[in-house]
């Protein structure tokens, strides 16, 4: 009995000691998510899962474990506001479509755990995962992945998930688009995210929230990687969009809409959506309206960049759509920066191999964004868009200890973001030192080195 009590006390004593143990992260500089300039001689003090202090030349608490990262820059963990961690669309389009129907859902889920790991090891400690669907399946793989990460079963970023994504019959999200009619025995319905008319849209939103959605995603215009639609046609009516936003906001969920076309963007912004994803063809008047309403733009430059670099992997109809979107998006992005539209960082990871998310930074800077604004988009801006700004997005007292480090100074070379060398999530070190192979070249052969720690 006595020894059992001693053991219990010992266990409590040890966990109390572990929770009290401070860690001091030191580096030559720090981007804190708030300031316009980097802080020199940076110190971030972490205790348990929280930041207890962050600043320049802070005194190190006695007994703290010191991790000196040298000539590096500390940053809040990056956030990607547009991923699809349960999928990999990066290879040959037709092969990928075949995989969707001939690889079973469990295998898709197991692959997703490798994609989650590649993402967090690249410095992305949070993602907003905007749509997870497998034609003919009602499994919620994104919900399962999020829950497994939260329970510590799988290593990965904090996830806010959208489940199926909502869209119209024959629209960008219709999973049977391009297949022979009734190949899957029935037309998709609200349980697949396919809904027509305001009442069905509300039902689809309610169904997704019931099954674990943190955020609602909808397709309001055509898209690049879908066969039976034009890239910029509106796919929901203003009345359907109004129902989408009203129902989602009633249930305290934000609304992200896939949208390339200008008319659809105009209607969606008017309806009060929280972010426009892609936005390729948006005209200056529409961007001005976004600025006025405070709507975020998630540009996903990496998606078009990847498709344009591998055009031979896509059917001719999709090549034409990709070219049209790519031709329009640079001017749209430059205008968005010029007009001061709120820009969130989101990549559409899955269209390109998971783990290469940080390449988006250079594309943003090349199109006129300052390096600090690009860093802010992936930290404080995304935290605000996701509604988690009170927990993450900046390095300051009371925030969760999501801290990463990259070599050198990202404000003089933004590609430093692609070489993250240290990742801490909620006070736990996920990666320390050592290069990893960024991303996964083939979904069947995950090629990620084990973390040093
Ligand atoms: Zn997407």
Dist. CA 405–CA 424, nearest whole Å: 9
pLDDT at residue 101, rounded to an integer: 86
Listed residue (406, 346, 404, 431) closest to 118, CA to CA: 431
- Name every residue whose Cβ is closer than 8 Å to that of residue 312 and which is 6 or more positions away in sequence: none
Q: Span 358-378, mean pLDDT?
A: 98
Dist. CA 105–CA 316, nearest whole Å: 29
- What distance in angstroms lies between residue 333's CA and the mean position of ligand 1's atoms? 18
Token reading at 56:
């320049």
How many helices (H) and strands (E) the chain has is answered by 13, 15
Per-residue pLDDT for 378 more than 80?
Answer: yes
Distance (Å) of CA 181 to CA 102, 176, 193, 198: 19, 8, 18, 25
Per-residue pLDDT for 296 more than 70?
Answer: yes
* Maximum mean pLDDT: which of 171-185, 207-221, 434-448: 207-221
- What distance in angstroms lies between residue 68's CA and the mean position of ligand 1's atoms? 38
- What distance in angstroms lies between residue 16's CA and the mean position of ligand 1's atoms? 43
pLDDT at residue 227, rounded to an integer: 79
Q: How many CB atoms lie within 10 A of CB 180?
A: 7
Dist. CA 193–CA 197, nearest whole Å: 13
- Looking up tokens 């993602």, which residue turns up? 127
- What distance in angstroms lies between residue 348's CA and the mean position of ligand 1's atoms? 5
- 391 phi, psi to nearest 5 deg: -110, -35
Q: Span 292-321, mean pLDDT?
A: 94
Confidence band for 109, pLDDT divided at 50, 70 and 90:
very high
- What distance in angstroms lies between residue 224's CA and the mean position of ligand 1's atoms? 10
pLDDT at residue 443, rounded to an integer: 32
The DSSP secondary structure of 213-256, one letter per residue, reads -SSEEEE-B--SS-SSS-TT-B-S-HHHHHHHHHHHHHTT--EE
Q: Span 72-93, mean pLDDT?
A: 95
Q: DSSP character for 381? A: I
Strand 124-129 with 50-56, pairing:
unpaired
Asked whether the beta carbons of 278 and 300 are under 8 A apart, the reply is yes
Burial string for 205-233 (b: 16+ CB within 10 Å, else e) reads bbbbbeeebbbbbbbbbbbbbbeebbbbe
Asked whether the beta carbons of 319 and 350 are under 8 A apart, the reply is no
Per-residue pLDDT for 349 more than 90?
Answer: yes
Confidence band for 396, pLDDT divided at 50, 70 and 90:
very high
- What distance in angstroms lies between residue 278's CA and the mean position of ligand 1's atoms? 9
| Structure confidence by residue, pLDDT tens digits, 227-255 | 778 888 999 999 999 999 999 999 999 99
Report the percentage of the chain scoring pLDDT > 70.
Answer: 91
- What distance in angstroms lies between residue 59's CA and the mean position of ligand 1's atoms? 44
Q: How many CB atoms lie within 10 A of CB 387?
A: 16
pLDDT at residue 98, rounded to an integer: 87
Residue 159: strand pairing partners: 127
- What distance in angstroms lies between residue 129's CA and the mean position of ligand 1's atoms? 8
Per-residue pLDDT for 306 more than 90?
Answer: yes
pLDDT at residue 307, rounded to an integer: 93
Per-residue pLDDT for 325 more than 50?
Answer: yes
- Looking up tokens 């547009």, which residue turns up? 82
pLDDT at residue 284, rounded to an integer: 98
Mean per-residue pLDDT of the chain: 91
- The SS3 of residue 441 is coil
- What distance in angstroms lies between residue 187's CA and the mean position of ligand 1's atoms? 23
- What distance in angstroms lies between residue 82's CA and the mean position of ligand 1's atoms? 6
- What distance in angstroms lies between residue 130's CA and the mean position of ligand 1's atoms? 6
- What distance in angstroms lies between residue 131's CA and the mean position of ligand 1's atoms? 7
Q: Span 272-293, mean pLDDT?
A: 98
Q: Is the pTM of this model over 0.85?
A: yes
- What distance in angstroms lies between residue 186's CA and the mean position of ligand 1's atoms? 25
Per-residue pLDDT for 448 more than 60?
Answer: no
Dist. CA 381–CA 214, nearest whole Å: 18
């Amino acid at each position: 009995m006595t020894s059992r009590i001693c053991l219990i006390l010992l266990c409590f004593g040890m966990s109390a000691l572990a929770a009290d143990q401070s860690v001091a992260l030191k580096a030559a500089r720090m981007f804190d998510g708030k300031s316009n300039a980097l802080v020199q001689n940076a110190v971030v003090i972490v205790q348990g899962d929280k930041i207890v202090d962050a600043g320049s030349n802070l005194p190190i608490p006695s007994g703290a474990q010191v991790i000196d990262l040298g000539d590096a820059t500390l940053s809040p963990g990056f956030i990607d506001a547009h991923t699809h961690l349960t999928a990999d669309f990066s290879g040959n389009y037709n092969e990928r479509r075949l995989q969707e129907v001939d690889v079973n859902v469990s295998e898709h889920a197991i692959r997703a755990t490798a994609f989650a790991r590649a993402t967090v090891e690249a410095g992305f400690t949070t993602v907003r995962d905007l749509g997870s669907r497998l034609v003919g399946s009602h499994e919620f793989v994104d919900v399962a992945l999020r829950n497994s990460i939260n329970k510590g079963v799988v290593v990965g970023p904090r996830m806010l998930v959208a489940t199926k994504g909502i869209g119209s019959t024959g629209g960008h999200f219709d999973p049977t688009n391009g297949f022979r009619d009734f190949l899957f025995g029935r037309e998709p319905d609200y349980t697949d995210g396919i809904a027509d008319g305001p009442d069905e849209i509300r039902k689809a939103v309610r169904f997704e929230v019931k099954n674990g959605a943190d955020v609602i995603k909808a397709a309001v215009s055509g898209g690049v990687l879908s066969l039976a639609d034009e890239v910029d046609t509106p796919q929901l009516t203003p009345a359907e969009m109004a129902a989408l936003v009203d129902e989602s906001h009633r249930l305290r969920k934000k609304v992200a809409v896939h949208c390339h076309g200008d008319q659809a963007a105009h209607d969606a912004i008017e309806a009060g959506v929280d972010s426009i994803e892609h936005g390729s063809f948006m005209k200056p008047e529409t961007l001005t309206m976004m600025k006025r309403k405070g709507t975020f733009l998630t540009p996903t430059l990496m998606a078009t960049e990847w498709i344009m670099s591998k055009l031979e992997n896509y059917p001719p109809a999709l090549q034409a759509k990709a070219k049209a979107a790519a031709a329009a998006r640079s001017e749209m992005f430059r205008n968005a920066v010029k007009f001061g539209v709120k820009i969130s960082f989101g990549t559409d990871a899955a269209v390109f191999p998971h783990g290469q998310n940080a390449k988006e930074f250079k594309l943003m800077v090349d199109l006129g964004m300052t390096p600090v604004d690009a860093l802010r988009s992936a930290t404080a801006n995304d935290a605000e868009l996701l509604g988690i700004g009170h927990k993450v997005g900046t390095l300051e007292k009371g925030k969760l200890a999501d801290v990463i480090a990259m070599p050198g100074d990202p404000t003089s070379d933004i590609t430093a973001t692609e070489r993250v060398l240290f990742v801490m999530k909620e006070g736990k070190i996920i990666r320390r030192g050592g290069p990893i192979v960024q991303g996964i070249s083939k979904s069947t052969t995950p090629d990620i080195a084990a973390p040093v720690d």
